[in-house]
Amino acid sequence: MRNKLALSFILLLLLVLKYQLVLALPVQSREMQVLNIKGYNIAVDNDPAWNWKVKYNKDVPVFIAQTPEKYYPPATVNVRYHKDIMINDHPAELRSAARSAIKTSLQHYDVKDINVNNSMRKVTYRQVKGYELNVSGFVNGDEHDIKIVVVRNVHGKMMSFLVYTSPGKMDHIQAAVKRIFNSVSFLRKY
């Protein structure tokens, strides 16, 4: 009886210690930093804080977010709002515009032998809808998993997302990428 009581006490003590250890572990808050870019708002993770900047390419602002230095896997998200390109809401026109933009984008990443039409997947992220394609390709000479997304916003204007990360790691970064895509909201005047 004493052995059972002692064993029960030890098990209870271990459970209490395990519970205290779990409570002491840091928890990611999923706090987001909301940023206003020309014509839209977008948010990125703030715990840990992603690095971000805006560059201009032919007067088009390109929002670039990167995982923190010691984050694994490393990833980059580029967002372009093509406010001068209108896409009709008709499904065939949206698919055609996305296919054309994705094919053009693939030329920059040394992707060959892919049937874009059969490989695109329909997506909706809160205020945008369109198509995405996941491929392996090369960014700055290094192999990466690449996600190219072409969408139409609620006002009919085109937006494109590019995500790249280490080979085989797109699934690991998907939750953070989805939070970024779902955070996009548009300012009425743009």
**Is residue 67 in some structural domain?**
yes
In a domain, 13, yes or no: no
Is 15 contained in some domain?
no
For the chain, what percent of residues have pLDDT higher than 70?
Answer: 84
How far apart CA 79 and CA 160 sit, in angstroms, is 6
Amino acid 85: pLDDT: 93
Q: Domain containing 144 — which CATH number?
A: 3.40.1000.10
Residue 59: pLDDT band with limits 50, 70, 90? confident
Spell out the SS3 assignment of the chain. Answer: CHHHHHHHHHHHHHHHHHHHHHHHCCCCCCCEEEEEECCEEEEEEECCECEEEEEEECCEEEEEEECCCCCCCCEEEEEEEEEEEECCCCHHHHHHHHHHHHHHHHHHHCCCCCCHHHHCEEEEECCEEEEEEEEEEEECCEEEEEEEEEEEECCCEEEEEEEEECCCCHHHHHHHHHHHHHHCEECCCC
Q: Tens of pLDDT along 60-103?
A: 899 999 999 989 999 999 999 998 999 988 999 999 999 999 99
| % of the chain beyond a pLDDT of 90 | 69
**What pLDDT, on the 0 to 100 scale, is given for residue 167?**
97
- Does the pLDDT of residue 143 top 50, yes or no? yes
- In this predicted model, what pLDDT tens digit does every residue of 106-127 receive, in sequence order? 999 988 778 998 999 999 999 9
Q: Is residue 142 part of a domain?
A: yes
**Across-strand partners of 188?**
none
Structural domain including 154 reads 29-186
Say if residues 180 and 65 touch (Cβ distance below 8 Å).
yes
Residue 17 lies in a domain: no
Asked if residue 11 belongs to a domain, the reply is no
User: Does any domain span residue 139?
Assistant: yes
Query: How many structural domains is the chain composed of?
Result: 1
> 117 lies in a domain?
yes
Q: Which has more pLDDT, 60 or 17?
A: 60
